[in-house]
Amino acid sequence: MKVLVVGGGGREHALCWKIAASPLCEKIYCAPGNAGIAADAECVAIEAGDIEGLVSFATDHAIDFVVVGPEGPLVAGLVDRLTEGGIKAFGPSAAAAMLEGSKGFLKDLCAIYGIPTAEYGRFVDAGSAKSFVREAGAPIVVKADGLAAGKGVIMAQTIAEAEAAIDAFMEDRILGAAGQALVIEEMLEGEEASFFALVDGETVMPLAWAQDHKRAFDGDRGPNTGGMGAYSPVPGISRQLEAEVLSDIVRPTVRAMKEQGHPYKGVLYAGLMLTDDGPKLLEYNVRFGDPECQVLCLRLISDLLPALIAACDGALSTVDLRWTDEPALTVVMATKGYPEAYRKGSEIRDLADAPGDTGVKIFHAGTAAGANGQLLANGGRVLNITATGPTMAKARTRAYTAVDRIDWPEGFCRRDIGARIVG
Ligand code: AMP
């Protein structure tokens, strides 16, 4: 098969690496890819948001299967456009991607189908949003309805903070159209965890649990980021809890989407709060998490490609995936300054020998090749140092040993990924 992976981050590097290893894969392209992905796939200079460019490329190159990494093109209808053109594509239709594309859509779906989630209200004018906040009291969570690259959720500790968030989204339009409608909801308490499943419109195939680290600095301090590290599995998640998440949250969602005429196909990534009243849904993402995908790909023994195809074909009930028992952990190395302003173009040295030990795989999240073949940082999040091991502690030691071998003074990482569970 000729496969095209859409995206250019660490998630897409992990997907390209895994798909390129499939005996079914004859040729793999990645658009736009990055310097590390170039080792596994032929990179083509088309941005992930360029729907027409991607459709033309897939048509012209007789691509058999497209795997879409990021949410933007899914919400914008890339899979619909490819499917109309007779090209099989992994990921939800635009209508099904609304599970991530509109928080209000998701909350209403939960309300109609009795899916456990925080109590909420939906608003399109600041006045009624503020009245709701004053009545409900703080703490309270203010969310922009649309896609906001992780910047659309404000955890307000006071009514004044919530009102300021409402003004920033609706009056100052800091997120543009994404913040013109709001969801305001009860603040839930508990541990957070992420659950990943493949879905083929009807059948749900559980993949794994993972935990990410959203804040920029050690001890969960500093601004929110796209994710500074992750590990999988998550200790303490019982079979019973997973069964409950499947029966009360994920399967009812998949049934609801089918009933509404928009069957969900793709990866469903549930962000959950494990409360004293049981698991509650915080959000869905309609794609693999980044960097969670990197740890999942390292733990997966089976060929991923046939499972992704089966999700498109409505044939997941015929697929079985095997996973190693070994845990995996990934440390994100980012350019100093991220997630705020940072400089592109700093040189990264000594990467090739960094893995050393077995069990380490480095995925590139934002790199480019320099004119003299040197490796340059080309983004905020730049490298994902990913390791497996017989224990999480060993995986963690391997990952940080590799980090310390990399010569990149302009980079930084959190030193406490997975620290909470290994002590
Ligand atoms: P979301 O994009 O909706 O998952 O929100 C991003 C993050 O905000 C979540 O991962 C949680 O840490 C936090 N969050 C969102 N909604 C709530 C809520 N209702 N209660 C507590 N924390 C929340």
Element (H, E) at 404: helix 392-405
Ligand 1 centre from 153 Cα, in Å?
7
pLDDT in tens, 175-208: 988 889 999 999 999 999 999 999 999 999 999 9
CA diameter of the chain: 62
Ligand 1 centre from 141 Cα, in Å?
8
Contact 139 CB / ligand 1 (< 6 Å):
no
Say how far apart CA 293 and CA 142 lie, in whole Å. 28
pLDDT for residue 423 = 64
Q: Using the atom order of ligand 1, give the atom closest to the CA of residue 150.
A: 2
pLDDT for residue 143 = 95
Contact 188 CB / ligand 1 (< 6 Å):
yes
Contact 148 CB / ligand 1 (< 6 Å):
no
pLDDT for residue 422 = 87
| Residue in 296, 301, 285, 333 with CA at minimum distance from that of residue 153 | 285
The structure tokens 């543009």 sit at 176
CA 113 to chain centroid, in Å, comes to: 25
Q: Which of 273, 276, 284, 285 to mutate to test the pocket of ligand 1 (most atoms within 8 A of CB)?
A: 273
Ligand 1 centre from 147 Cα, in Å?
14
pLDDT for residue 142 = 96
pLDDT for residue 177 = 86
The DSSP line for 318-336 is G----B-SS-EEEEEEEET
Q: Using the atom order of ligand 1, give the atom closest to the CA of residue 152.
A: 2
246 by Cβ neighbours in 10 Å (0-12 / 13-18 / 19+) ranks as middle
Taking phi first (over 0 means left), then psi (-120 to 50 degrees means alpha), and beta for anything else, what does residue 417 get? beta
Which residues fall within 8 angstroms of residue 354, CB to CB, at 6 or more apart?
360, 362, 385, 402, 403, 405, 406
pLDDT for residue 268 = 98
Ligand 1 centre from 285 Cα, in Å?
12
Please tell me the residue having the least CA distance from ligand 1 atom 10: 271
pLDDT for residue 39 = 97
pLDDT for residue 148 = 87
Q: What are phi and psi of 192, to 5 degrees?
A: -100, 145
Contact 201, 183 (CB under 8 A): no
Please tell me the residue having the least CA distance from ligand 1 atom 7: 153
Which parts of the chain sit beneath pLDDT 70? 423
Q: Which of 283, 284, 287 to mutate to test the pocket of ligand 1 (most atoms within 8 A of CB)?
A: 283
pLDDT for residue 135 = 94
Termini Cα distance of the chain: 45
Q: Which of 169, 175, 282, 285 to mutate to test the pocket of ligand 1 (most atoms within 8 A of CB)?
A: 282
